[in-house]
């Protein structure tokens, strides 16, 4: 379970940990589930989390269509009601897969345990042999996806006259540098999905239009994920005033309206904003 500790106290919500830090000046420690032990949290994203989550959904959509041959019309994208997105595949042969087979799909989508040998790299190859075995960007699946990433990688002006296979081989010639590039390609191209969802054939999904218990937002279908606005479109509760006692809350924006920051104050906010804070345990009913 995700959690934060500060001053020897454990918090499920980051904002509560920040409040404890402001009061005690003690450091905050972040704890991730064991399945994320190999994830590099030191990588600073260039995009906002809203954009990053959309990109993960888009990458998953592309893999399902290009690699698994699923028709676009059989894939529906939903905003979960909290932060992530659900992609639902219907009318396909994959609906009948068992847990083990579904887990293999998760491993494939996540680019788990992909090896350089699988892509055609071999330390024993001569340069000419290496060029003959290099992946091509027009190949299907991960070889083509990886090849496209490698050929787009900027080396130096000496690589301008090389064809794609020669450029990839040149990259590979510097083993230590190439290993870093390979790791970058995996992080960039894979879709970071929740590995526990797809294999779970007994899981009951939240119904569309139902409210999420951590936000009060509705799960709704995204007709166009690029233009979808998660702080506006799924906010379906009313604007009736609701008085709450706020413990701590930074600035946040819902329905185009900015609220906060608040600290140890009683405020009257629209119902949708008050419920959002209540469900995040940042406030109580006044």
pTM higher than the cut 0.95: no
- pLDDT reported for residue 19: 74
Phi/psi at 182 (nearest 5 deg)?
-60, -45
* C-alpha dihedral sign at 154, 65, 191, 214: positive
**Residue 157, domain member (yes or no):** yes
- Within-domain flag for 71: no
| 141-152 helix and 164-173 helix, angle to the nearest 10 degrees | 80
pLDDT at 35: 57
Is 113 contained in some domain?
A: no
Is residue 162 a part of any domain in this protein? yes
Instruction: Tell me the two tokens of residue 15.
Output: 């904002």
In a domain, 221, yes or no: no
* Sheet-wide strand order for 3-6: 9-11, 3-6, 28-31
Q: Which tokens in the block code for residue 170? A: 């040149």
One DSSP character per residue, 14-50 reads: HHHHHHHHHHH-PPEEEE--GGGTT--TTPPPSS-HH
Asked if residue 64 is part of any domain, the answer here is no
Cα distances (Å, whole numbers) of residue 31 to 41, 214, 221:
11, 20, 32
* Domain presence at residue 229: no
Q: How far is CA 151 from the centre of its chain?
A: 25
CA distances from 35 to 39, 121, 194 (A): 9, 28, 10
Q: What tokens does 58 get?
A: 């888009």
Asked if residue 226 is part of any domain, the answer here is no
Containing structural domain, residue 7: 1-44
Domain containing residue 275: CATH number: 3.40.5
Residue spans of the chain under pLDDT 50: none
pLDDT value, residue 89:
93
As for how many domains the chain has, the answer is 3
Task: Find the helix packing angle between 164-173 and 175-189, rounded to 10°.
Answer: 120
């Amino acid at each position: 379970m995700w959690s934060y500790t500060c001053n020897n106290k454990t918090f499920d919500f980051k904002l509560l940990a920040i409040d404890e830090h402001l009061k005690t000046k003690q450091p905050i420690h972040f704890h991730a589930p064991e399945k994320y032990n190999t994830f590099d949290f030191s990588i600073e994203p260039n995009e906002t989390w809203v954009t990053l989550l959309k990109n993960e959904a888009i990458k998953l959509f592309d893999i399902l269509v290009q690699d698994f041959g699923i028709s676009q019309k059989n894939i529906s994208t939903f905003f979960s009601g909290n932060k992530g997105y659900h992609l639902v595949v219907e009318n396909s042969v994959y609906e009948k897969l068992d847990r083990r087979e579904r887990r293999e799909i998760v491993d494939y989508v996540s680019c788990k345990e992909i090896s350089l040998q699988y892509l055609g790299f071999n330390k024993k190859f001569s340069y000419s042999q290496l060029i003959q075995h290099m992946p091509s960007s027009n190949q299907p699946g991960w070889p083509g996806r990886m090849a496209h990433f490698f050929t787009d990688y900027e080396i130096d002006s000496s690589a301008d006259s090389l064809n794609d296979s020669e450029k990839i081989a040149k990259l590979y010639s510097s083993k230590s540098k190439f290993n870093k590039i390979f790791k970058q390609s995996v992080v960039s191209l894979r879709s970071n999905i929740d590995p526990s969802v797809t294999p779970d054939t007994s899981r009951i999904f939240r119904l569309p239009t139902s409210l999420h218990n951590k936000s009060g937002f509705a799960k709704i279908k995204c007709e166009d994920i690029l233009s979808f606005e998660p702080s506006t479109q799924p906010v379906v509760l009313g604007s009736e005033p609701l008085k709450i006692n706020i413990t701590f809350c930074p600035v946040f924006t819902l329905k185009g309206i900015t609220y906060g920051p608040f600290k140890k104050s009683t405020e009257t906010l629209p119902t949708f904003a008050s419920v959002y804070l209540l469900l995040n345990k940042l406030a109580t009913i006044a």
